[in-house]
Amino acid sequence: MAIKLPTKRFKARYGRKPRSKFAAIEILQHANQKCPQCNKISVRRLAAGIWQCRKCTLKFAGKAYTLQ
């Protein structure tokens, strides 16, 4: 089965390199991250730089796309 990339919505526009860079960033920002307080893999991105753990409900600021 083919892998669904988030850049399929752009079809043939914008070129290969910008689409591949965008795909890498978007996959990381939508992945679950590790909580700094409870160490569970349950942190989700709410907005640019705002993260929240779904287990301990800790809301904190971090980097825009990833926590690392």
For residue 23, the model assigns a pLDDT of 92
Unique residue bearing structure tokens 């825009």: 64
**15-61 maps to which CATH number?**
2.20.25.30
For residue 55, the model assigns a pLDDT of 95
State how far the Cα of 68 lies from the Cα of 34, in Å rounded to an integer.
Answer: 9
pLDDT digits (tens, 9 = 90+) for 8-50: 888 889 999 999 999 998 888 888 899 999 999 999 999 999 9
Unique residue bearing structure tokens 């993260």: 51
Predicted TM-score (pTM) of this structure: 0.75
pLDDT digits (tens, 9 = 90+) for 1-10: 667 778 888 8
For residue 66, the model assigns a pLDDT of 87
From the CA atom positions of the chain, what is the Rg in Å? Answer: 14
